[in-house]
Amino acid sequence: MEEYSKVSIQKKDTNFIIFNIESSTIKESTCIEYRSPVFTFKDHPKEECYLSFVSVLSKVKIPSQKVAGMTLHFINKQGSQEETCTYQVVSSVLNRPEFGTHAFQSHRFCINELKHWKFFSINELSKIVNKSGIVQLCFDVTRFADEETGSIESSFITQDDDKMLKLYSFAQNDEYTDVVLKIGDEEFKAHKNILAARSAVFDAMFKSKMMEEQTGVIKVEYFKSEVIKEMLYYIYTNNVEDLPKISHDLFEAAHFYNLMDLETLCINHMISNVNVDNVTMLLELAEKYNLQDVQFHVTKFIKNNEALVMKNSEYLSYLLSRLSVKNIAKCLTLADKYKLKDFKTPLKEFVRDNIKQVIKDSTYRYLYTTNMSLILEIDEFIADHYEK
């Protein structure tokens, strides 16, 4: 990768970085890297970082689309005893507030790179070249310790201004609208140009010869009406009204329509509100969309609240649905520890039916050292089965 040095940096409580990117390099290459100078955080001067920005070819949703992403690099390796913390990167275009903001957050623990591959569309960036042929992108990098993460969601830059709300009122009052999102018997009026400006999926839909473009009606089949209503409110105002009730469904809609900022907002809310009742849903969501931050926080919550979580029938069903040779020993240990007889029975059946593979696993063999009574119970269960 080539490096590009026309980057300035301003020190304050957070680090404000400006990339001056020549538009020609974005259009002509999909692998040009722009790297910031090394910077530190005010209260953590030994934590040296730099930010890199690169254009790549998207392989999802719209295969031919070029997208631009960023990576926050840590020069000094994080030790296992150092505090875990969260980093927030908010990006925008210099002196172009109408372009909006993009936000990304990630939890760091013993890793040296935090990546986000879909910050901007290259097609979007080509529209904001200044007279000198330069695109000026701003990145505001903030560090949060674990005890500060409750304030992260409110630190996002939003565009709560009268113009944005006015645009939303136009849609609500069916003024100048030219497209309808139809969910069952419910309809939501909107404006193609606004939907296309916020979502690459809508943009591609309207540029194609798809039925939606020809009829002006988009039939939504996968999401409830309250989710689409909330999504449209966000598209027009950059805010959400009812996030706690529908963060899971709203995330899936945001992912489907490529609304990256809304995805991040939903993820942050879910991370901040993990509880016994939603751990299973969040684990399934993290698996489906490879949400490593969500996976990390949910796993941490389960570890710290193990006794309560093991009383949750949904979570036990989740464990049973994912039984494997690699995790059977852990599940058996938990079932034995919390005296979960009904949960233990299918685990013993799994061992019985897969005994040749299970006995080869080192974690299962370790039970012979740590919990011989459990091993004897399983052996007796298997013997009883074959005696019948």
Q: What is the pLDDT of residues 99-145, one digit of tens each?
A: 666 666 665 555 566 766 555 666 666 667 776 677 777 777 877 76
Using the 3D structure, point to which of 120, 152, 184 is the last residue of a domain. 152
Report helix, strand or coil for 192: helix
162: tokens are 């009268």
* The pLDDT of residue 279: 96
Asked if residue 183 and residue 147 are part of one domain, the reply reads no
Domains of the chain: total: 3
* The pLDDT of residue 154: 35
* The pLDDT of residue 70: 74
What are the residue ranges in the chain where pLDDT is below 50? 1-13, 29, 58-64, 80-81, 148-161
* The pLDDT of residue 108: 56
Mean pLDDT over the full length of the chain: 78
Asked if residue 170 and residue 221 are part of one domain, the reply reads yes
Asked if residue 221 and residue 194 are part of one domain, the reply reads yes
* The pLDDT of residue 64: 47
Q: Is residue 269 part of a domain?
A: no
Q: DSSP state, 148? A: G
CATH number at residue 202: 3.30.710.10
* The pLDDT of residue 206: 85
Asked if residue 324 and residue 194 are part of one domain, the reply reads no
The Cα 107–Cα 143 span in angstroms is 10
Q: Is residue 281 part of a domain?
A: no
Comparing CA positions, the residue from 267, 325, 337, 261 lying closest to residue 295 is 267
DSSP assignments along 88-102, one per residue: EEEEEETT-GGG-EE
Q: Is residue 67 part of a domain?
A: yes
Using the 3D structure, point to which of 95, 127, 152 is the last residue of a domain. 152
Asked if residue 215 and residue 96 are part of one domain, the reply reads no
Cβ within 8 Å of residue 207, ≥6 positions away: 213
Asked if residue 147 and residue 172 are part of one domain, the reply reads no
331: tokens are 């599940």
Using the 3D structure, point to which of 213, 241, 257 is the last residue of a domain. 257
Asked if residue 205 and residue 171 are part of one domain, the reply reads yes
CATH number at residue 326: 1.25.40.420
For the stretch 150-197, pLDDT in tens is 433 333 334 444 566 677 787 778 788 889 999 998 999 999 888 888
Asked if residue 134 and residue 16 are part of one domain, the reply reads yes
Between strands 44-57 and 66-74, the pairing is antiparallel
Q: Is residue 100 part of a domain?
A: yes
38: tokens are 């090394």
Sign of CA dihedral 166, 170, 173, 179: negative
* The pLDDT of residue 8: 38
- Helix, strand, coil shares of the chain as percentages rounded to 5? 45, 25, 30
Asked if residue 248 and residue 184 are part of one domain, the reply reads yes
Q: Is residue 267 part of a domain?
A: no
* The pLDDT of residue 63: 42
Between strands 179-183 and 217-219, the pairing is parallel
Residue 100: left (phi > 0), alpha (psi -120 to 50), or beta? left
Domain interval for residue 247: 159-257
Q: Is residue 50 part of a domain?
A: yes
CATH number at residue 61: 2.60.210
Between strands 113-121 and 15-22, the pairing is unpaired
